[in-house]
């Protein structure tokens, strides 16, 4: 198995996972839309890094590597790297909170439809960029 094989495997998973986001959204399970979007974005960005031959670290946010290796991506992807990095950073901050919550933050009560819509928008954007690599 090569980095390219693994990247393609990640991209295949993303195709399936994006559908699941809409199930959570339709169930008004907005906190899981946030959490699963973060996972989708993380998988997509790590797949993108593998695609260009970079072994991603075991971190949830690889935005700094996207920016560092921006020039290795196809020219049609390069203009979108900053937005991809911003999405990754924002969602990384929501990872644990959307899943576990906190004493003063109940995920099922605090995430809104607007939060979920933003995540769907972000997930669709990331998915479109990944399609360029397929």
pLDDT tens for each residue of 112-122: 999 999 999 99
Closest CA to 77 of 35, 104, 47, 56: 47
Task: Say which CATH topology domain 3-133 has.
Answer: 1.20.120
Question: Rounded distance, CA 29 to CA 104, Å?
Answer: 19
pTM above 0.85, yes or no: yes
Question: Rounded distance, CA 127 to CA 122, Å?
Answer: 9
Cβ pair 88, 37 in contact under 8 A:
no
pLDDT tens for each residue of 15-28: 999 999 999 999 99
């Amino acid at each position: 198995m090569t980095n390219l094989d693994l990247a393609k495997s990640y991209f295949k998973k993303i195709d399936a996972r994006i559908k699941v986001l809409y199930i959570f959204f339709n169930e008004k399970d907005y906190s899981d839309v946030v959490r699963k979007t973060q996972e989708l974005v993380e998988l997509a960005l790590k797949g993108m890094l593998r695609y260009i031959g970079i072994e991603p670290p075991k971190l949830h946010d690889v935005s700094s590597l996207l920016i560092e290796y921006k020039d290795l991506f196809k020219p049609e992807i390069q203009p979108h790297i900053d937005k991809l990095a911003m999405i990754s950073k924002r969602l990384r901050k929501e990872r644990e909170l959307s899943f576990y919550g906190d004493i003063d933050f109940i995920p099922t009560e605090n995430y809104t439809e607007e939060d979920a819509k933003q995540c769907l928008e972000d997930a669709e954007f990331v998915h479109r960029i990944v399609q360029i690599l397929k």
